[in-house]
Amino acid sequence: MPLQRPDDVLHAFQAAWNDHDLDAFRALFHPDASFVNRFGHYVRGADAIVAMHAPIHATIYSDSTLANELIAVDAVGADGAIVHFWSRLTVGAAHPAGPHAVDTLILAVLTRVDGAWRIRALENVTLTNPRTGETVLRDGPSA
């Protein structure tokens, strides 16, 4: 499913994750895209992005879901955009820590090539208490 607008990314990202469809996930990214996960692990290339996610979708995140909520879209010329969105990851019994939720803030840089938008770079940051390092959930509609 090609992204017609930059803000389509949060729904497509959510659908691919929730379906655990790594082919659909790969299609969201340019072949040479970069990705920083919520633990600071950096990879480059759509194949590496999928390779980083495949083991967790087969194990600890096999029963996980995402709920994404748009914060802002900022155009960078006619064929570039920066998209910020909240993402709530809810994991189930497959996770060693048991069922719980984690909120992250995602920054995605998208570019349009041949009329379709794709992610060029994405960074995912876990919300934490800066004094304790403890993971916190945000207040808001998806909370």
Residue 137 within any structural domain of the chain: no
> What domain range includes position 108?
8-126
Give a yes or no: residue 46 inside a domain: yes
Full pLDDT tens readout for the chain, 143 residues: 679 999 999 999 999 999 999 999 999 999 999 999 999 999 999 999 999 999 999 999 999 999 999 999 999 999 999 999 999 999 999 999 999 999 999 999 999 998 999 999 999 999 888 899 888 898 866 55
Residue 56 lies in a domain: yes
Specify if 15 maps to a domain.
yes
Q: Please tell me the pTM assigned to this model.
A: 0.92
| Residue 30 covered by a domain | yes
101: in domain: yes
Query: CA 140 to CA 118: how far, in whole Å?
Result: 28
Question: For residue 112, what is the domain's CATH number?
Answer: 3.10.450.50
Domain count within the chain: 1
User: What angle is formed at CA 62 by the lines to CA 101 and CA 89, rounded to 5 degrees?
Assistant: 20
